[in-house]
Amino acid sequence: MPGAPAEKDSINRCGPWQSARIRLPGPRRDTRRGRRKRGAEWMTSMSANTQHTTFSLPPRPWAVVLAGGSGQRLAPLTRALYGRPLPKQFCRLGCGTSLLQDTVERLRPTVPAHRTVVVVEASRTRLARRQLGGGVTVIGQPRDRGTASGVLLPLMHVLMRDPEATVVVTPSDHGIADRDLFRRGLEDAVAAVRTNPARIVLFGVEAGAPRTDYGWILPEGDGVPAVNGARFRPVARFVEKPPPAEARRLHDSGALWNTFVMVGKGVSFVNLYRRRLPETARFFEKYARLDESRRDGWLRERYDRLEPANFSHDILESAADLAVYTWPAALAWTDLGTPERLFEWLETEGRLATVMATLKRRGATELIREAVPPALAAAAP
C-alpha cells in the first residue's frame, strides 16, 4: 500500500465483505493458544485459583481525509502568495502549518496517524507526504472524477486493512476554532455507530446566517436515542446552496450548515455505493482484489472510465438511516472555499496581517481590491 508499511496477507475471514469476495487481511491467530488477537486486551490473573478477567477496549476509528481539490477558485490568491497556484489545503496561511496538517492534527487523539488515509491529486502525493511525515497513508488520485470516487478510493484502502472499520470522513480545508468540541462530537458519533452499525452520522453546525453558498441539512424533529448524552436527529432532507429566500427559511426553521464530516462503518458507506452507483462500487472492489504491485498502474489506466459523480447528490440524498449530530455555533466552523470566507477566517485566527503584508510586498494590489472584503482590507496594517 502506498505510503504505508506492507501488510501481511494472512486471510482468515472477510467479515461483512464476504459477499464482495475481496480477500482482505483478517485478525492474526495465536497458534499456541488458539486465540484471535482483536484490539487491545488487558488481562489480569487475580490469583492462581481465582477467575481470569479480560477487559477489551473498543478498536480505534479510522479517518479518510479528502484533500484532492485542485484549488481553482483560490488560484489567483495562492499564485500571489507562492508564485504558483497551490491548492489551499497545502498552504501555510500566515503560520507554520498547512490546512491539511491542521486537519490531521485535529483528528488526534480520536484517530491516530497510522489509522489515517489521505487522498490527494496524484501530482501532489510527494508534497502531502512531506507535510504529514510518517505514519499517515497518502493515496494519489489519478484524476478528479467527482467526490463519489474521491471518497471511495481511500475508503477501500481502509477496508483492505480493517474490514470492520468505523471511519471518520472529513474535508481538509475547513476552519475550526474549538478542537475540543470537534473531538467530542466525533467520539459521540463513533459511540453511536457502535450501538447501531447501520447508521451513518453526519455533522451539521448551528447556522449563524442564511448563507446561500453553503449546503444545508434539515433535521427531523424527534431525536433518536441518546448516546453519551448526545442527541442525534434523523435527516429530513438536504439543500445545496439555496437561493436567498430559501436560505432565510432554512435559517429560521433551525436547519444546519452541512460540514460534510461523517462517521459510519466502512461497509455501510460501500453498501450505499452498491445501491446507488453499482458500477463505481464494482470498479473499486475489483481494484481492492488486485495484488498491491498492480494497483497503481491499473488505476491510472482505467480511472477515466469512471462516471463522474457527486457524493452528496448521488449517494447521500437518497440514503436511509442517516442521523445528524449538531455542533454548536461555538465550534466556529467555516468552509474556506471562497476568498471572502478565507479572509474572514484569517482575521479571526489572527493571521490576516501576515498574509496581507505578503500580498502587499509582492505587489498584489489588484487582488487585494478584488478578493479582500473592504472592511478587512482597511483594518489591515
**Which residues face 42 on adjacent strands?**
55
**Which residues face 204 on adjacent strands?**
258, 326
Rounded to whole angstroms, the Cα distance separating 245 from 175 reads 27
Rounded to whole angstroms, the Cα distance separating 371 from 162 reads 44
Residue 43 resides in a domain: no
Query: Do residues 262 and 288 share a domain?
Result: yes
Query: Do residues 162 and 291 share a domain?
Result: yes
DSSP structure class, residue 316 = I
Residue 34 resides in a domain: no
**What's the CATH number where 248 sits?**
3.90.550.10
Query: Do residues 373 and 275 share a domain?
Result: no
Work out how many domains the chain is built from and give that number. 2
Query: Do residues 232 and 355 share a domain?
Result: no
Residues in the chain: 381
Parallel, antiparallel, or unpaired for β 40-45 and 52-57?
antiparallel
Rounded to whole angstroms, the Cα distance separating 61 from 63 reads 7
Cα 37 to Cα 16, 26, 70, 186, 272: the distances in Å are 18, 10, 42, 26, 30
Query: Do residues 240 and 365 share a domain?
Result: no
Query: Do residues 160 and 214 share a domain?
Result: yes
Query: Do residues 267 and 356 share a domain?
Result: no
Query: Do residues 264 and 368 share a domain?
Result: no
Residue 18 resides in a domain: no
Residue 242 resides in a domain: yes
For every one of its 381 residues, what pLDDT tens digit does the chain have, with 9 covering 90 and above?
444 444 333 333 333 343 333 444 443 444 444 433 333 332 232 333 334 444 456 789 999 999 998 878 888 889 888 888 899 999 998 888 999 999 999 999 899 999 999 999 999 999 999 999 889 999 999 999 999 999 999 999 999 999 999 999 999 999 999 999 999 999 999 999 999 999 999 999 999 999 999 999 999 876 666 566 677 999 999 999 999 999 999 999 999 999 999 999 999 999 999 999 999 999 999 999 999 999 999 999 999 999 999 999 999 988 988 999 999 999 999 999 888 899 999 998 888 989 999 899 988 888 888 888 888 877 666
| Selection from 173, 138, 140 nearest residue 260 by Cα | 173
Range of the domain at 345: 339-379
Query: Do residues 146 and 191 share a domain?
Result: yes
Residue 48 resides in a domain: no
